[in-house]
Structure 1
């Protein structure tokens, strides 16, 4: 690497190391999980509606939906799920997510694949309820 890039690289690394990282699946302190509604749309296509109060932002309610999807996948005897889409809405402090996942026994194609056992374990450790 040319020496003229070293100060730039050092500055970039210093700036990025100072930013606090949000823990994935870290439950907010004031979270009130209001429930999950699950609907099988087709053989492997599942819709999850979740509601919560006390979310810090969309990511918290998305994590709640993902935890529900992971547990549902295990309940159905599968090991993997793939995220297709999540719509998040907030009104008067009530956060809602409408998420769709596919479930499968083997690792599905795609970029947003989830090992249901790993995610369920992380959700349990971080006190995020599941199905």
Structure 2
């Protein structure tokens, strides 16, 4: 999905059931980013506001893209996500492989494209308090 499509999809998720008022932005807090190995990054995010798994996945994708860019890597491939909920806050613990070259497999992110999409989501007010 392109970043314009992602913005539209997340906006639709946030607006569902809310015909008259604009939805509050989703609050995303990056709790932890660490490299488990040279090419494996773990990110933990806390998300308040929307329990939709697509929004949570986007938050972890944003964090992984940011971590990859800091290491001057170009691609990230989602490996796994474990989620739990406590007191209305969902936490996602996700792992990505990050590489300079396009990795094999599914769920591959071009980190430059993902980072731009994340900035646009934040500017559009779809996510807030990210990073």
Q: What TM-score do you get using the length of structure 1 for normalisation?
A: 0.74
Aligned residue among 30, 36, 43 for 1:35: 30
Give the secondary-structure state (helix, strand or coil) at the position aligned to 2:65: helix
Give the aligned CA root-mean-square deviation in angstroms.
Answer: 2.3
Preserved contact between residue 47 and residue 101 of structure 1 (Cα < 8 Å)? yes
Specify the alignment match of 2:79 in structure 1.
84
Specify the alignment match of 1:23 in structure 2.
8
Between stretches 26-35 and 100-109, larger displacement belongs to 26-35
Shift of 1:24: 4.6
Runs of 4+ residues deviating >6 angstroms: none
5+ residue gaps, structure 1: 1-20
Larger-Rg structure: 1
Preserved contact between residue 7 and residue 117 of structure 2 (Cα < 8 Å)? no
Task: Give the Cα–Cα distance (whole angstroms) in 2 for the partners of residues 92 and 54 of structure 1.
Answer: 12
Specify the alignment match of 2:89 in structure 1.
94
Pair 1:47 & 2:42 matched: yes
5+ residue gaps, structure 2: 1-5, 15-23
Q: What TM-score do you get using the length of structure 2 for normalisation?
A: 0.74
